[in-house]
Structure 1
Amino acid sequence: EECMLAANQAVAQKVFAARIPGIYRVHDEPSDDQWARMADELRALGHRTAPEDAQDLNRIVRSVFGKPEQYMVTLTLLRNMKRATYEAESRPHFGLGFTHYAHFTSPIRRYPDLVLHRILVGIEEGRRTPAYSAAEIEKLAIHCSDTERESSELESQSIQIKRIRYFATLLEKGETGPFKGTVISLNPKGLIVELADSLQQGMLPYSALGGERYFVSDDGYSAGARKGSPYRLGQSIEVGLAAVDETLKRVDFFLPGAERRHGHRDRQLLRHPSAGNPRSHAHKPMGKPAGKSGNKSPAGPKKSPHQRRYAK
């Protein structure tokens, strides 16, 4: 992996120095809103330091490495990052801490890499005319960014379909857990829980927590009733499988023990066509914690191999 990063960086520097059109891999730093949202979420997770640059992010990553909160802290950083794109103009790669970076080492599976191979051949052979014009590179960069995003979304949808079918099968067999998970977001209707083993997300409705009414805090990072401890962002929790809707790709959880205190709840497996747009009803991290950013990694110029693996 380190050799790959070095090769990609070297080729980007070579093309930039040649002053000819090239296609670069760019990852801009978070916006002001993303920095602020990141600080709020980290504060809710118990980190008082508000990150302001790549060095701060690296310190945070190192401070939680190997600890139970590592996953949630890393997720917080990732979902408050911008998405890396292909650009005709070289700009720093924030996630890797490189001034110039490009994708070069996988020409058999990524078109931008093949484009750079052609450009590099032209440089090495001393051709007067570049392999691509600036206008062609501009169009290619936009096209490759769009198709990468589309393929990533399709991959996520495919994985989600398989996961939903898996949990539907478990429910049919009566295997309802419990499963270990983490509260990754809160909304007015319930807690969004992500399971540790499968990364399946689902809702644990407040109505499944007991008979009392639950209130979400003003900052959106905790919810509680008049009695008992509140549920918080990043909290570990065990849940059971309550319902699976294969049409809406939706999973609902229940809290083991709560049903014994407040009455039995039937398990439901739904396969019937549902009205509306399925994608608009699928569970996703909601509310303030989720943010609107792309999923890119903690950043910085001096990353260890395990840290660099998150951003390419």
Structure 2
Amino acid sequence: MSWGNFFRRQIMSEKSKKKYPAAKKNSGSGVESYRNKIVTFLNTHSKKLMPLSELESKCRTKKHGRDDFIEAFSQLRNEGVISMKKAMKVGLCSRLGLKTGKITRLSRTFGFGITDDGTEYFIPGKCMLGAMPGDRVLIAKIASRSGEPEGEVVDIISFGSQQLTGVIEIVDGSAYLVPDTASRNHITIVRDKNVPFKEGDKVLAEIAHRGMRHAEHKVRVIQVFGCAESAASCAQAVIACHGVPTEFSPEVLREAKKISEGGVQEYSFNNREDLRHLSIFTIDSAESKDLDDAVSVEKTEKGYLLGVHIADVSHYVKGNSAIDKEALNRGTSVYYADKVIPMLPKELSNGICSLNPDEDRLTLSAFIEFDSDGEMISYRFCKSVIRSRVKGIYSEINSILEKRETDEIHAKYSALLGDIALMDELADLLIAKKNRRHAPEIETTETRLFIDENGVCTAASPRERGKSERIIEEFMLSANEAAAKLAKEKQTPFVYRIHEAPPEGKVESLHEILPKFGLECPHFTEFRPVHASKILEAARGTDKAEAVNMLVLRSMSKAKYSPEPLGHFGLALDDYAHFTSPIRRYPDLAIHRIITDIIAGYGSQWLSKRYGGFAVNAAERSSSAEVRAATVERECEDCYKAELMKQHIGETFRGRISGVTDFGFYVMLPDTIEGLVHIRTLPDGQYDYSEPVSLRESFSGVCYELGMEIDVICAAVNVSDGTIDFILDNEEE
């Protein structure tokens, strides 16, 4: 077979949906030898490109070594080490100036890709080579008119997800998919009589055929969710597309049922501290059913003794059990609208593990002693049994702290009023301590969606954060810090929560941008939390405060899990972990197992042997699961927000510019709804983009700036992809 026919078959075959060419993977010395020969020859050859047939003849000396050569060539191409251009010519990517990266998004006429060094490239549609979001590609830099990095896809190394969501459209009797996040080109549907659909349906499809252009792709519908105008249907499609499991296997359910039916047995109290005499209670939202943390506070001679009592999920969920494997796979519970996809079966999450009031529950407790200034003096962890006094509700306790509670609320908490006052006192000290260490106080807003009995979104608002929310936040932070300190002290493998300093490029951007807001940002040899804190403090109370808060927030790295204690920039802490939510986060469950064995007296050598690989795997998979869950939650929320705004098309709203791009700007309304004012809807003119601060019209001087208040009209919405389009109110023009 000729090389041309070989690659055409491999690239276009439906069997090669993940990588191509799909030669069998060998591990012999022959393949490794050919890998070295190929790289060495291409690196030393006088020409950057050479015919593949010539490369083979120069490298392959064995008469029967072609399979090994093909495998070596395939591996190097799939790894992005070599590239094959037109006319079957091959070269080293490093010599050709090619970079490996991933396609992140597409529109009808262009796309974007991010290379492994973090550079984002604008890619014209004609230069996409049919690549789809998630595909690993080789990108070549090309001339740019805008000054921003521009590139073309020269090779697709491996395919990303083969599934995509969209809406069915029927044209002249032929069915097409209008994708949500991929190219806006209509994609031809290969019909399957076993999966009926109709126009306007929201569906999940898989790629049945890859063409060299987006218009040549073909898909097959594999699941229908209902009307694309329904946010509930669209949310189900988002969940399916991202591969979030929604059902538990029979084996997992059997294990959960057995645990639940066994109940909390008194023999389980052995070797546990009995804390049922203490004033311990939970504080959470009214709708919460998975109560995994409870608190207690006592006054001491030195200051305060805080007790943070966490559901002992690890007592029930043993390592490598069916439930444990499923929990690791899910990584976290997923919350959207008024629904939850739990990490654990409800028999555990809402039942035997939930710290429900007036029921004996097994817990892992952290006792942390503070002095009168809120400084941590000591900590200890123990296995325990508690009995929560009451299910505390944030809004009710806020009313007590603000001295506006009703008689009914006063009666409910009458035996705990002293405890609540003491908690408030300690939380104030902990907040003051956080301020002393200059942890950046970045404001973020969560959205609360209101869903009616038909599953339709009827309203949205910022989620309230009162004093009781701050109390619980500070107490959980303290327990998380103590858990990380314990692990470091015992020199044991662990899953830490880390937040690294902002990337150097983001810090440089702050240096350039902040003077435009009248703020100085001197150059630092090392950007520390105190520097971010001072920037925010300088802007506080000014009309630029919100804009500066957005800029600092966007400069931050993403927090993640790690087996290494690299510190937490946002909290200005050297030691931090996630300990307090094992019902809904796997890393918390993971470290509960480790802490349990520390309490049992096992030494660092034994702990290292048992948990070394486990901690690395749990950190890596938990980070990936967290990203997936956050993406799903955001995309689902966008669909519900669009559904809400569909009821308000044509209405005028006052909002604030929350983001500026070269194609327009985003406006956020007070209820957290955000929409795009596209540049094509602005008054005619020549607009200059000052990234990421403003769009200015060159002749009139009209400027649309980050943080600026503005009146907009809701012009259009697309529930299916969660987008909202605003236009300027006429008076703003």
TM range (shorter): 0.7 to 0.9
Structure 1 residue corresponding to 2:545, chosen from 70, 74, 77: 70
Cα pair 1:186 1:233 within 8 Å, conserved: no
Give the direction of change, closer, same or farther, for the CA distance of 1:95–1:220 in structure 2 (3 Å limit): closer
Query: Which shows bigger deviation, 47-56 or 238-247?
Result: 47-56
SS at match of 1:78: helix
1:255-266 to 2 correspondence within 5 Å?
Answer: 255-257=728-730
Structure 1 residue 39: Cα displacement: 2.6
SS at match of 1:101: coil
Cα pair 2:641 2:722 within 8 Å, conserved: no
Cα pair 2:639 2:721 within 8 Å, conserved: no
1:35-54 to 2 correspondence within 5 Å?
Answer: 35-50=507-522, 52-54=527-529
1:171-250 to 2 correspondence within 5 Å?
Answer: 171=649, 174=650, 176-187=651-662, 189-190=663-664, 192-210=665-683, 212-217=684-689, 219=691, 221-222=693-694, 223-250=696-723
Structure 1 residue 59: Cα displacement: 1.1
Give the direction of change, closer, same or farther, for the CA distance of 1:206–1:151 in structure 2 (3 Å limit): closer
Structure 1 residue 218: Cα displacement: 5.5
**Normalised by the size of structure 2, how large is the TM-score?**
0.33
Cα pair 2:529 2:569 within 8 Å, conserved: yes
SS at match of 1:102: coil
Give the direction of change, closer, same or farther, for the CA distance of 1:98–1:230 in structure 2 (3 Å limit): same
Matched, 1:130 2:607: yes
1:1-312 to 2 correspondence within 5 Å?
Answer: 1-50=473-522, 52-128=527-603, 129-130=606-607, 132-171=610-649, 174=650, 176-187=651-662, 189-190=663-664, 192-210=665-683, 212-217=684-689, 219=691, 221-222=693-694, 223-257=696-730
Structure 1 residue 185: Cα displacement: 0.8
Cα pair 1:206 1:213 within 8 Å, conserved: no
SS at match of 1:90: coil
Q: Name the structure with the higher strand share.
A: 2
Query: Which shows bigger deviation, 54-63 or 90-99?
Result: 54-63
Give the direction of change, closer, same or farther, for the CA distance of 1:120–1:219 in structure 2 (3 Å limit): closer
How far apart, CA to CA, are the structure 2 residues paired with 1:89 and 1:123? 18
Long gaps (5+) in structure 1:
262-312
How far apart, CA to CA, are the structure 2 residues paired with 1:219 and 1:22? 40
How far apart, CA to CA, are the structure 1 residues paired with 2:474 and 2:731? 50
How far apart, CA to CA, are the structure 1 residues paired with 2:594 and 2:529? 32
Structure 1 residue 217: Cα displacement: 4.2
Cα pair 2:546 2:707 within 8 Å, conserved: no
Give the direction of change, closer, same or farther, for the CA distance of 1:8–1:183 in structure 2 (3 Å limit): closer
Structure 1 residue 135: Cα displacement: 1.2
Structure 1 residue 6: Cα displacement: 1.5
Give the corresponding residue for 1:265. Answer: none
Percent of matched pairs sharing the same residue: 27
Give the direction of change, closer, same or farther, for the CA distance of 1:50–1:160 in structure 2 (3 Å limit): farther
Give the corresponding residue for 1:280. Answer: none
Cα pair 1:184 1:194 within 8 Å, conserved: yes
Long gaps (5+) in structure 2:
1-472
SS at match of 2:655: strand
Query: Which shows bigger deviation, 83-92 or 244-253?
Result: 244-253
Q: Which amino acid letter does the alignment assign opposite residue 45 of structure 1?
A: F
SS at match of 1:79: helix
Q: Over the residues paired in the alignment, what is the CA RMSD in angstroms?
A: 2.3
Give the direction of change, closer, same or farther, for the CA distance of 1:90–1:125 in structure 2 (3 Å limit): same
Structure 1 residue 50: Cα displacement: 4.0
SS at match of 2:614: helix
Query: Which shows bigger deviation, 240-249 or 54-63?
Result: 240-249
SS at match of 2:710: strand
Q: Which has the higher contact order (CA 8 A, sep 6+)?
A: 1
SS at match of 1:182: strand
How far apart, CA to CA, are the structure 1 residues paired with 2:544 and 2:668? 14
Q: Which amino acid letter does the alignment assign opposite residue 252 of structure 1?
A: D
**Deviations along 1:121-149, whole A, 9 cap, x unmatched?**
11111124328421111111100010011
Give the direction of change, closer, same or farther, for the CA distance of 1:41–1:199 in structure 2 (3 Å limit): farther
Structure 1 residue 231: Cα displacement: 2.3
Q: Which amino acid letter does the alignment assign opposite residue 24 of structure 1?
A: Y
Structure 1 residue 203: Cα displacement: 2.5
**Deviations along 1:88-119, whole A, 9 cap, x unmatched?**
11111111111111111222221111221211
**Deviations along 1:147-201, whole A, 9 cap, x unmatched?**
0111011110111010011111211xx4x113322252131x32x1222323333
How far apart, CA to CA, are the structure 2 residues paired with 1:224 and 1:237? 16
Give the direction of change, closer, same or farther, for the CA distance of 1:134–1:70 in structure 2 (3 Å limit): same
Give the direction of change, closer, same or farther, for the CA distance of 1:219–1:96 in structure 2 (3 Å limit): closer
Q: Which amino acid letter does the alignment assign opposite residue 229 of structure 1?
A: V
Q: Which amino acid letter does the alignment assign opposite residue 693 of structure 2?
A: Y
Cα pair 1:93 1:100 within 8 Å, conserved: yes
How far apart, CA to CA, are the structure 2 residues paired with 1:214 and 1:103? 50
Q: Which amino acid letter does the alignment assign opposite residue 165 of structure 1?
A: E
Give the corresponding residue for 1:282. Answer: none
Structure 1 residue 66: Cα displacement: 4.3
Cα pair 2:528 2:569 within 8 Å, conserved: no
Give the direction of change, closer, same or farther, for the CA distance of 1:69–1:194 in structure 2 (3 Å limit): same
Structure 1 residue 258: Cα displacement: 5.4
Cα pair 2:688 2:698 within 8 Å, conserved: no
Give the direction of change, closer, same or farther, for the CA distance of 1:207–1:157 in structure 2 (3 Å limit): closer
Q: Which amino acid letter does the alignment assign opposite residue 498 of structure 2?
A: V
How far apart, CA to CA, are the structure 1 residues paired with 2:699 and 2:594? 66
SS at match of 1:239: strand
SS at match of 1:122: helix
**Deviations along 1:214-233, whole A, 9 cap, x unmatched?**
32146563321412432223
